[in-house]
Amino acid sequence: MIEREEMPYDVVVVGGGPAGLATAIRLKQVDPELSVCVLEKGSEIGAHILSGATIDPKALDELLPSWREDGCPLAETPVTDNWHWHLTRKKKFALPHLVMPPFMSNDGNYTGSLGNLCRWLAEQAEALEIEIFPGFPAAEILYDEAGAVIGVQTGDMGIDREGNPKGDFQPGMNLLGKYTVFCEGARGHLTKRLKARYDLEAECQPQIYGLGIKELWDVPADKHVPGRVIHTQGWPMSETDSWGGGFLYHQANNQVALGFVTALDYKNPYVYPFEEFQRWKQHPEIRAILEGGKRVAYGARVINEGGWQSVPMLAFPGGVLAGCSAGFVNVPRIKGTHTAMKSGMLAAEAIASAIKAGREQDTLGEYDTAVRESWMAKELKLVQNAEPMVAKWGGEIGTVLAGADMWLRTLFGFGLAKPMKHHTDASTLQRADLYQPIAYPKPDGVISFDRLTSVSYSFTNHEEDQPVHLKLKDAAVPTAINLPLYAGPEARYCPAGVYEFVDPDGSGMKLQINAQNCVHCKTCDIKDPTQNIEWVTPEGGGGPNYPNM
């Protein structure tokens, strides 16, 4: 048995993203006497944060009304110009704003680095005497004898690849709270366990995801239009039995954030999201913006796409889910920061009230109710059929139906259909013999790049002599099932080159896991058709180190 230090708090917050920091700040605003800590697995706040991002400031206005005057970096670049393009192989067609519901407008929104917004929020939190622990991932959930969550255990440090303590071994700590708030982001590994233990998804649809791959470019000043926001749909996904879309945001300092989201419910096992992104960049309209520029950062992260019908029960004994752990992304708007923050604020208000009443480690049903009665719910219900309609009927017809459904819900309060169902992303992949391999073009090294070179621009680092944090439930499955049946999709869906099928000694193919490349996107945990891969947290501080993403 390992002796572990215990640190008691009123509230333990797992995750230093926008939801976790909003939770912590609101707790202290409501009751400055509460003791609050925030755990962050990245080496610093913002190190693992990746988003487009064009942000609706609605929740930020509620949390910190003077943020525009208080040095928040998001205030630098309000959206000034908004375009939506339908792409064919060589051309673009601009979709008029009149055909889209008013809430799809970006008027009043801001574009910038979500990581830098989180860094600024952390400064506000520390000024309120909130303790923030970067580099300390929550590795295990702690329960009392009655089965209520009482806190979390941080990961042990100094364990070798075989699981043995090294000379610099440091045991993880037990952080105990009257309530614990889980804000791990999409597909959090502890959130998965909580959903299973408390059957939180018993009355909702399964969560589904998209994989967002992003780059940051410095572009020539004469091509930069501060505040311009461009979204695209159509090509190249129209050619590969899949769907998704691109974004390109002109942010501060002559930088452009651009990326591509591939819906992970694709059927064709030869789809290669990284290569779809590289191909998209070669479209004449996109390439024209990037030529003469320089790529400065790369990264990837999954995005919740299930919508309102995939929101689970949010409260359980001793804790709650908030932010993307629960899944509050508005898919058509490609926005989730404002809803994530609002959920954290509602969680904080419910927790502060409960502690004031002398309660602890019970089920905060009032938080779940508050979310379902908030503006978050109203917003997400308007778009709840957009993703499933596109998924079912394809990019062309599905987009028209989704638009009609959103207009009807906006104007009359009802849509074309009742809330539609989802299938898990793992279940949609079909056999490789039903498809032909896709011949993706080779990178030119100017606009498009290879995957391993790209990973170097994520500044990812893991201590090599540590246990592999990508666990195979059965080591035989990749070569016995995934390779012969699905052509080894692990080698393609990962945007960081973590998985390779190799035959180093001629004895047959094996799955090699290059865990040090992992950018913590969670795609493997989601898309593996046999659900044989489980992502768990690596040693503290490991992973990407995004500078401005």
Is 396 a residue whose pLDDT tops 80? no
Instruction: Kindly name the residue from 77, 191, 494, 523 that is annotated as catalytic.
Output: 494
pLDDT over threshold 90, residue 288: yes
Among this protein's residues, is 37 annotated catalytic? no
How far CA 29 is from CA of 33, 124, 364, in Å, comes to: 10, 11, 20
390 has a pLDDT exceeding 90: no
Is 394's pLDDT higher than 80?
A: no
Known active-site residue 324? no
pTM of the entire predicted model: 0.95
Q: Which residues are bridge partners to 37 per DSSP?
A: 12, 131
Report phi then psi at 260, rounded to 5. -140, 135
Q: At what angle do helices 18-30 and 337-356 cross, to 10 degrees?
A: 40
Active site residue: 23, 518, 523, 537, which one? 518
When pLDDT is cut at 50, 70 and 90, the band that residue 404 belongs to is confident
C-alpha gyration radius of the chain = 22
d(CA 164, CA 477): 26
- 415: pLDDT confidence band, cut at 50, 70 and 90? confident
Q: What is the pLDDT of residues 89-138, one digit of tens each?
A: 999 999 887 777 887 789 999 999 999 999 999 999 999 999 999 999 99
Catalytic residue check, 337? yes
Separation of alpha carbons 70 and 249, rounded Å: 24
Q: Select from 538, 494, 80 the least CA-distant residue to 300.
A: 494
Catalytic residue among 54, 111, 521, 523: 521
Residue 395 has pLDDT above 80, yes or no: no
What pLDDT score does 149 carry? 98
Q: Is 521 a catalytic residue?
A: yes
Residue-level pLDDT at 41? 96
| Mean per-residue pLDDT over the chain, rounded | 95
Specify the pLDDT at position 403: 82
Q: Is 108 exposed, middle or buried (0-12, 13-18, 19+ CB in 10 A)?
A: exposed
484: phi then psi, degrees, rounded to nearest 5: -70, -35
pLDDT tens track for 222-256: 999 999 999 999 999 888 878 889 999 999 999 99
Which tops the pLDDT comparison, 385 or 132? 132
Per-residue model confidence as pLDDT tens digits over 321-362: 999 999 999 998 889 999 999 999 999 999 999 999 999 999
pLDDT value of residue 2: 85
The answer to whether residue 494 is catalytic is yes
Residue by residue, what is the 3-state secondary structure of 349-364? HHHHHHHHCCCCCCCC
DSSP collapsed to 3 states, 453-496: HHHHCCCCECCCCCCCCEEECCCCHHHHHHHHHHCCCHHHHCCC
Q: What is the pLDDT of residue 407?
A: 84
pLDDT at 402: 81
Token pair of 176, please?
């105990």
Other Cβ atoms closer than 10 A to 75: 18
Name the band, by pLDDT with cuts 50, 70 and 90, for residue 485.
very high
pLDDT of residue 427: 97
466-478: per-residue pLDDT in tens?
A: 999 999 999 999 9
90 DSSP 8-state letter: S
**Candidates 77, 337, 428, 454; catalytic one:** 337
What's residue 497's pLDDT?
A: 97
pLDDT tens-place string over residues 70-81: 999 999 999 999
Strand partners, 24: none
Which of 301, 333, 451, 492 does the annotation list as catalytic? 301
User: What's the pLDDT band for 60 if we cut at 50, 70, 90?
Assistant: very high
Task: Give the closest residue to 259 by CA, choosing from 43, 113, 47, 93.
Answer: 113
Question: What pLDDT score does 74 carry?
Answer: 97
Q: Is the dihedral of CA 300, 306, 312, 314 positive or negative?
A: positive
Name the active-site residue from 72, 183, 204, 524: 524
pLDDT for the residue numbered 465: 92
For 423, residues 6+ apart whose C-beta sits below 8 A from its C-beta are 206, 208, 265
- What was the pLDDT predicted at 411? 87
198 pLDDT band (50/70/90 cuts)? very high
Least confident of 1-5, 35-39, 144-148, 428-432: 1-5
Residue with the two structure tokens 């299973």: 196
Could you confirm whether 454 is annotated as catalytic? Answer: no
Q: Confirm whether 183 is a catalytic residue.
A: no
Q: Tens digit of pLDDT for each residue in 112-125?
A: 999 999 999 999 99
Polymer length in residues for the chain: 549
3-state secondary structure of 196: helix
Residue 513: its pLDDT value, please? 97
> Which distant-in-sequence residues (6+ apart) come within 8 Å of 184 by Cβ?
14, 15, 138, 190, 191, 324, 325
Tens-digit pLDDT profile for residues 430-472: 999 999 999 999 999 999 999 999 999 999 999 889 999 999 9
Catalytic residue (choose from 51, 242, 343, 523): 51
Rounded CA separation 132/380 (Å): 31
